[in-house]
Amino acid sequence: MTQPEMRYFSTRGGSETLSFEDAVLTGLAPNGGLYIPTHIPSLPEDWQTKWASLSFPELSKEILSLFIPTSVIPSTDLKEIINTAYSSFRDPSTTPLRQTGEKEWVMELWHGPTWAFKDVALQFLGELFRYFLERRNGVLEKDGKEEREQLTVVGATSGDTGSAAIYGLRSKPSITIFILYPDGRVSPIQEAQMATVPDENVYCVAVQDSDFDTCQSIVKTLFSDKEFNSAHRLGAINSINWARILAQIVYYFSAYFQLPKEAREQGSRIQFSVPTGNFGDILAGWFAKKLGLPMDHLVVATNENDILERFFRTGRYEAEEVDDIKDQNQDQAPETAAVNGSSDGQQATPSSASSVKATHSPAMDILLSSNFERLLYYLALETNESTGSEEENRAKAQDKLNGWMSELKKNGKVDLGEKVKQAAGNDFWSERVSDDQTLAEIRKYYKLSQYGPYVVDPHTAVGLAATERSQKKAPNSYWITLSTAHPAKFSSAVELALNSEQFPDFNFRSTVLPEELKKLESLEKRVHKVKGEEGVRALIERVKKGEKVVPGEGKGSI
């Protein structure tokens, strides 16, 4: 049976479909929607045997080919893109499973260059951008620079996403990347990871006297400035970019093949627990399930910013008023909103001004989850009466979703009703994990006897706590908790949990901090300190004019 060629359409409507290439380069649809595939492809019948012994890149090639027609990327090119992307991973299995209990495993997603899971998607996306631009520019072209299509990636970060984006785009021809962050407000290790990258096309921009929101709003302003945007062809590597979700589907399959045979034979009892912020990671797991990967439930593990946990429990999607924490010091700005380019400016934001709570797992400190809209579309589709043609059903689901999104924008909340809640419950469970529980979980895994000691980062700890609680719902299951960062990246929570009073033998530097990260301390940092939006604009203009702008210039090098 031949399947129709895969195209992409916006969750918010319009009958227009885009090629994979256009969907990736566009990021967010002009109507504010997110791109999703025109259909869920079917797996080859014998995938369970045929794919069983494939390497991660080989597996990736098989799965990605289902969503990327060869007319968009020929097979040999796709293979090369994937091989290059994952050659930077330190572990031979790319995303290895580590056993932590009799029927429990942790999947370590942080063996890429920046020691956090966003590398899995951003290493691939960076290669993809390079490939599309090189092809547009013609590999053999000899024309002047003006003729070439250039991409200027501008993003804001409070730490982690910035480094993953920089490592994904460093040294890529025709791409320049500017990462903005609040001067003095990111952790030393995060700044070192960004600022020690020596490549000419990388600009670390420390915005003076700012916070994360200021940086984010500068980025939004630049994207919505039509003249500036088209002059420099701004590109965003949003967490809502379809290619990022796609790349992440692969490791769910990889996990399945790494499980022992007896677990695979009981596929209906495999459960995944996923530390969740913007709903990208776990949405990829949902697509894996829809493709036909045997699994039972996906556990949405949130920290105290629990909008998603509340949705799965109540059917209501609402940002809560959190007055009591409004005044808290928020030097850990919401990581998930980082490197978002124009996207968040057009995402629905609640009219009541709530704020994000700063937790020990800052990469999941969110108000609204941008990728959640994709699931909402499918829930709208599933709970509609499907009477019409495929196109009619799609249009009906888009209408329903639009209704929900405008209600959310207007009132800061939307009640999706019992039917939708139940449909969501078929695939998802959810758990909210407090800061105290997060620290307790870190301690618990450090004290594991048979399978430990194992030091986990606070995000992974949230996932593990959610696993533990969900086990009551499904005894005799096989549990895989996704580990999204190496503990060295979130040292403050780890050191707080494993403090020297209670754990005199624990030494962060000697047991947790990898040599590669220690080395960063001695490398030269290249930071461009600027003031405000004008400073950022001026820097980008000068660089794009071909001026050589020296890091630290005029402001004292760091």
Binding site for ligand PLP (CB under 6 A): 116-118, 160, 239, 275-281, 335-336, 363-364, 459, 484-485
SS3 of 367-387: the string is: CCCCCHHHHHHHHHHHHCCCC
447 is catalytic: no
* Residue 319 burial (C-beta neighbours within 10 Å; 0-12, 13-18, 19+): buried
Q: Which is nearer to ligand PLP, 60 or 201 (CB)?
A: 60
The number of helix segments (H) and strand segments (E) in the chain equals 24, 15
Extract the tokens encoding 513. Answer: 């901090």
Q: Which is nearer to ligand PLP, 126 or 275 (CB)?
A: 275
CA distances from 378 to 242, 320, 352, 494 (A): 15, 25, 27, 38
In 44-189 the beta strands, taken as DSSP E runs, fall at: 97-101, 104-108, 151-156, 175-182
Alpha helix positions (H), 208-364: 212-224, 226-232, 242-258, 261-265, 280-291, 307-314, 323-326, 343-346
Q: Any idea which residue has 């949130």 for tokens?
A: 302
Q: Which is nearer to ligand PLP, 295 or 488 (CB)?
A: 488
Closest CA to 157 of 23, 328, 334, 417: 334
Rounded CA-CA distance 298/291 in Å is 14
Q: Which is nearer to ligand PLP, 12 or 459 (CB)?
A: 459
DSSP assigned state of 309:
H
β-pair type (428-432, 413-415): unpaired
Rounded CA-CA distance 356/426 in Å is 29
CA distances from 4 to 7, 40, 44, 156 (A): 9, 11, 15, 38
Catalytic pick from 118, 172, 289, 529?
A: 118
Q: How far is the CB of 46 from ligand PLP (least distance, A)?
A: 31
**What 3-state class would DSSP assign to 301?**
strand
Closest CA to 113 of 85, 88, 82: 88
At 32, phi and psi to the nearest 5? 90, -5
Helix (H) or strand (E) holding 123: helix 118-137
Rounded CA-CA distance 267/273 in Å is 15
**What 3-state class would DSSP assign to 279?**
coil
In contact, 304 and 434? CB cutoff 8 Å:
yes
In contact, 401 and 300? CB cutoff 8 Å:
no
Peptide bond into 487 cis (omega under 30): no
In contact, 126 and 115? CB cutoff 8 Å:
no
Rounded CA-CA distance 309/302 in Å is 6
DSSP assigned state of 116:
B
Q: Which is nearer to ligand PLP, 494 or 543 (CB)?
A: 494
Q: How far is the CB of 278 from ligand PLP (least distance, A)?
A: 3
In contact, 412 and 352? CB cutoff 8 Å:
yes
Catalytic residues: 118
